[in-house]
C-alpha cells in the first residue's frame, strides 16, 4: 500500500479520537484516523453505552419484581421473567446503531479511516499493521487518543472466571453468584445491575467505604439501596487469589482473617490505566507522569512539538466527555484558533441506584483549598416530582463562597439526577452565584427544582423545607 500524508493523524477511534477527527474535518483539515479494534472505543462498545443499556434493562426488571410483591399505585405484575440473551441482543443493537453513526460522520467529513495497529516510527510517522498489509502514515500533527484499559490485580489476572467490565457486559448467562472486587463506580454500576437481574452479589472493597472517590454524604444513599437489594458489601477487605479449582475467592479482612467467597464469576473493577503499550512511544521523547499517563499542558500539548495527547491516555479524570472536549479543542488549535482547557466544570456521574453526580468542589475540598464556604442541601423527599416517581431518597447540594456566593460545587444523589449534570456544569462554567440560580425560574414539577431550592436554602430563603 502507498504511503499516506496528512495534516492530522489521530491514533485511537474512541470518543476523544473520533471527535478530534470529525472536528478537524469540519475545519477543512486533511485528517486520518487509525483504530485497531472498533470505532467508538471502549465507551461505545464495551463501556458507557452497553453498561447503561444493561442498567436500564435491570431497572425495568427490578421494578417489575417489586410490583409483583406490592402494588403501591395499583400496577400488578405476576411472575416477571427476563430473557437475558435477548437483553444482550438489544444492548448490542444500541451499540451497533451508534457505531454506524460514528462511521457515517467520519465519512461525511472526509476522514480517512485506517483499521489496524499503529506504532510510532518517529514524531511525524507511524506504521499501521492493517489486514490489507502495512501502511505508513506521515503527518504534521499527531494526536494520541488510545484510551485506557482495566487494571488487573497481581493475584487475579484476567482470564476464565476472573473478568473485567468488558466480559461482564457479555456473559453467556445470568450468574447465580457474582463477586465484584472494587466498589468504585464501575463495580457498583454492574454489581447493582446484576443484583436487580437476580444474581447474588458480593462487593469487596479495600477502602473503608464504597465510592471512595466521592464524599461520604453522597455515598450513603447508595449504600442503603445496596443493602435493600441484598448486596453484601465487605469493606476494608482485600482479595488475594482464587482457590485451586477456581471456584472461590480468598478475601482477608482488616485483621487478616481469611474468608472464601464462591461465585460463578469474579469481576475485578479496581480502576483503569492509560493504554500506552504497543504504540512504540519509547521512540518518542515524551514526558510521562508517575501513573503512566502522558504529561500534557492546558492545550493538551505534550513535550514534543505537534504531538498532542487527549482523554484517558493523559490521565484523570478518565471520562469520555473530557476526551471529547479535549479532542475538539486540539482540532481547533491545529486549525489556528487560540484555545485552552479548563477542567473545573467536568461532571462525574455514577449510574448506580440512586445515581450520583458531582461537579466542582465538595465542601471539605473547598475548605481545604482555603475557602470559607456556605453549603446547603435540599432533600428529594420534599420534591413533588421525586415523590411521583417513588424516588425520594437523595438530595441536591450546593457549595458557594461565603463572601460573594460564587458557586464552587454542585452535587446530587437520587433517581435520574444524572440529567441535571448539564445544568450544574453550566452554572459553574458561567460563574453563577447563588442569587443567579435562585432568581432563575425552574419548571414545576421537576427534579431541577431541588437545585433551585438548595440555592435558596443556602441564602436563608428556603420555601419548601
Alpha carbon distance 142, 140 (integer Å) = 7
Q: Are 433 and 455 in contact (CB under 8 A)?
A: no
Q: Which residues contact 421 (CB under 8 A, 6 or more apart)?
A: 347, 349, 357, 359
Alpha carbon distance 147, 15 (integer Å) = 9
The 3-state secondary structure of 210-268 reads CCCCCCHHHHHHHHHHHHHCCCEEECCCEEEEECCCCCEEEEECCCCCEEEEECCEEEE
> Active-site residue numbers?
444
Bridge partners, residue 288, by sequence: 294
Alpha carbon distance 27, 15 (integer Å) = 18
- How many Cα atoms sit within 13 Å of 323 on the Cβ side? 32
- Beta strands 348-350; 355-360: pairing state: antiparallel
Amino acid at each position: 500500500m502507498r504511503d499516506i500524508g496528512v495534516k492530522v493523524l489521530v491514533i485511537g477511534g474512541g470518543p476523544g479520537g473520533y471527535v478530534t477527527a470529525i472536528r478537524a474535518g469540519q475545519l477543512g483539515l486533511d485528517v486520518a484516523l487509525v483504530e485497531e479494534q472498533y470505532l467508538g472505543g471502549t465507551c461505545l462498545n464495551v463501556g458507557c453505552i452497553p453498561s447503561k443499556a444493561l442498567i436500564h434493562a435491570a431497572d425495568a426488571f427490578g421494578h417489575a419484581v417489586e410490583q409483583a410483591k406490592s402494588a403501591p399505585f395499583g400496577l400488578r405484575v405476576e411472575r416477571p421473567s427476563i430473557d437475558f440473551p435477548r437483553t444482550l441482543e438489544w444492548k448490542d443493537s444500541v451499540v451497533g446503531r451508534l457505531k454506524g453513526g460514528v462511521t457515517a460522520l467520519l465519512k461525511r467529513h472526509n476522514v480517512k479511516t485506517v483499521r489496524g495497529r499503529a506504532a510510532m516510527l518517529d514524531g511525524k510517522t507511524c506504521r499501521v499493521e492493517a489486514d490489507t498489509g502495512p501502511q505508513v502514515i506521515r503527518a504534521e500533527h499527531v494526536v494520541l487518543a488510545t484510551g485506557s484499559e482495566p487494571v488487573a490485580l497481581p493475584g487475579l489476572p484476567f482470564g476464565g472466571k476472573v473478568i473485567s467490565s468488558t466480559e461482564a457486559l457479555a456473559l453467556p448467562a445470568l450468574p447465580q453468584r457474582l463477586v465484584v472486587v472494587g466498589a468504585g463506580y464501575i463495580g457498583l454500576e454492574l454489581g447493582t445491575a446484576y443484583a436487580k437481574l437476580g444474581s447474588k452479589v458480593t462487593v469487596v472493597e479495600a477502602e473503608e467505604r464504597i465510592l471512595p472517590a466521592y464524599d461520604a454524604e453522597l455515598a450513603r444513599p447508595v449504600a442503603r439501596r445496596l443493602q435493600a437489594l441484598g448486596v453484601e458489601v465487605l469493606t476494608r477487605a482485600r482479595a488475594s487469589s482464587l482457590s485451586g479449582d477456581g471456584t472461590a475467592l480468598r478475601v482477608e479482612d482488616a485483621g487478616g482473617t481469611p474468608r472464601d467467597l464462591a461465585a460463578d464469576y469474579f469481576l475485578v473493577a479496581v480502576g483503569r490505566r492509560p493504554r500506552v503499550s504497543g504504540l512504540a512511544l519509547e521512540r518518542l521523547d515524551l514526558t510521562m507522569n508517575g501513573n503512566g499517563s502522558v504529561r500534557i499542558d492546558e492545550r493538551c500539548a505534550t513535550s514534543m512539538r505537534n504531538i498532542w495527547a487527549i482523554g484517558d491516555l493523559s490521565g484523570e479524570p478518565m471520562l469520555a466527555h473530557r476526551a471529547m472536549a479535549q479532542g475538539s479543542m486540539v482540532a481547533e488549535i491545529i486549525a489556528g484558533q487560540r484555545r485552552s482547557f479548563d477542567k473545573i466544570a467536568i461532571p462525574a456521574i455514577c449510574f448506580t441506584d440512586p445515581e450520583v453526580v458531582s461537579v466542582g468542589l465538595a465542601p471539605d475540598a473547598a475548605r481545604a483549598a482555603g475557602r470559607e464556604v456556605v453549603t446547603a442541601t435540599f432533600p428529594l423527599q420534599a420534591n413533588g416530582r421525586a415523590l411521583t416517581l417513588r424516588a425520594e431518597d437523595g438530595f441536591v447540594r450546593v457549595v458557594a463562597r461565603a463572601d460573594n456566593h460564587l458557586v464552587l460545587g454542585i452535587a446530587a444523589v437520587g433517581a435520574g439526577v444524572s440529567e441535571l449534570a448539564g445544568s450544574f456544569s453550566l452554572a459553574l462554567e458561567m460563574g453563577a452565584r447563588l442569587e443567579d440560580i435562585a432568581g432563575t425560574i425552574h419548571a414545576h414539577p421537576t427534579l431541577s427544582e431541588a437545585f433551585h431550592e438548595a440555592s435558596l436554602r443556602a441564602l436563608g430563603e428556603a420555601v419548601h423545607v
